[in-house]
Amino acid sequence: MRIASNTVSDSVLKQIQTLSTQQAKLQNQVATGQKIFQPEDDPSAVGRILILDAESRQVEQFKVNANRALEVSQATYAGLQDIKKLSDRAGEIGTLGAGASSPDAYKAYAKEVNQLIEQAVQSGNTKLRNDYLFAGTALSTKPIDDSNRDAAGNLISATYAGNAAQSNVQISELSKLAPGSSSTTNAGLTSFVNNLIALRDALNAGTSTAVAAVLPNLDSSENLLVNSLSEQGAVQLRIEVTQGQQSTRATNLEKLVSNEADADMATSAVKLSQTSTAYQAALSSATKILQMSLLDYLK
């Protein structure tokens, strides 16, 4: 027999260290459910995870953008709906006024239209999160300037104080949209207010001819509001479809990351058991080998 050499001892110790490292790694996998703890554990998988993580963050930002865009679009739609109701009533009053014959009736209609004017100005100057909805990108500027009033406080004329620009929102890598109303719509709301003023003044004049002359302009405002509502409905549908796509995409990315990073618990448990058995066997063998001395061979 030969005495165990340093080479054998070193080999045994190296094997024990390897098994110990493997056992610790498998214990961590079973305890955490993760198979990657350091980049060197699987460099290629780590690279793929980093790419997927960057894409996930981008998708989350698109989702935030889409939520904000939907909020703006819904608020815009609600504001236009309110103004559309005012337009409907103004059309009814205009039709009635064109056939009215009583001075009292004209005055009563004029007073009601004056209230519609104030409500239209209020709706046209609607805010969302302290930003004016119908001012284009001039978010801090009141879009309908209603400062031109007579001594009694009645609005004489309104002017549009916003701008013609629109804010675009990025909702995907290749897609942007403007969730707010167009410049045509924004300016048209001020025109609608001025049409209401013309209707009120015609009613105060007390002539059916003057009232009838205002009706075509009210019809034009009505058509503008209908078209604007239709556009906002289409914008909302587009945003909602994109939201669904981004949510599905986020879920799929999460699954891909999980496939790369999560450990197979059943496989890890079996490997841990096998490694632990091998580790205990290696310790037992090493104890016997490393305790051998020259006296064992002189007996």
pLDDT digit string (tens) for 184-223? 999 999 999 999 999 999 999 988 999 999 999 999 999 9
155 within some domain: yes
28 within some domain: no
Phi, psi of 40 (to 5 degrees): -70, -15
Angle at 224 between CA 208 and CA 129, to 5 degrees: 120
206 lies in the same domain as 293: no
245 lies in the same domain as 274: no
- What integer pLDDT is reported at residue 170 of this predicted model? 94
24 within some domain: no
pLDDT-above-90 percentage for the chain: 62
Asked whether 211 and 105 are in contact (CB, 8 A), the reply is no
Range of the domain at 161: 51-255
Looking at the predicted structure, is the pLDDT value of residue 291 above 70? no
DSSP H or E segment with residue 156: strand 155-160
Out of 43-47, 108-112, 147-151, 259-263, least confident range: 259-263
156 lies in the same domain as 273: no
43 within some domain: no
236 lies in the same domain as 298: no
H helix intervals, 158-262: 183-205, 208-261
201 within some domain: yes
148 lies in the same domain as 279: no
CA separation for the pair 280, 59 (Å, rounded): 49
Looking at the predicted structure, is the pLDDT value of residue 289 above 70? no
6 within some domain: no
Q: What is the four-CA torsion angle of 268, 274, 275, 277, rounded to 10 degrees?
A: 140
158 lies in the same domain as 273: no
Number of domains in the chain: 2
139 lies in the same domain as 280: no
Looking at the predicted structure, is the pLDDT value of residue 33 above 60? no
Question: Residue 139's domain is classified under what CATH number?
Answer: 1.20.1330.10
209 lies in the same domain as 91: yes
82 lies in the same domain as 173: yes
Looking at the predicted structure, is the pLDDT value of residue 5 above 60? no
The pLDDT tens digits for 58-108 are 999 999 999 999 999 999 999 999 999 999 999 999 999 888 778 899 999
178 lies in the same domain as 209: yes
Mean pLDDT of 3-11: 56
Looking at the predicted structure, is the pLDDT value of residue 36 above 80? no
Out of 9-18, 72-81, 162-171, 220-229, least confident range: 9-18
CA separation for the pair 209, 293 (Å, rounded): 126
What lies within 8 Å, CB to CB, of 297 at 6+ separation is 1, 3
188 lies in the same domain as 243: yes
105 lies in the same domain as 171: yes
- What integer pLDDT is reported at residue 44 of this predicted model? 80
- What integer pLDDT is reported at residue 20 of this predicted model? 55
The pLDDT tens digits for 99-110 are 877 889 999 999
Angle at 140 between CA 137 and CA 146, to 5 degrees: 105
Query: Which pTM was predicted?
Result: 0.76
287 within some domain: yes
218 within some domain: yes
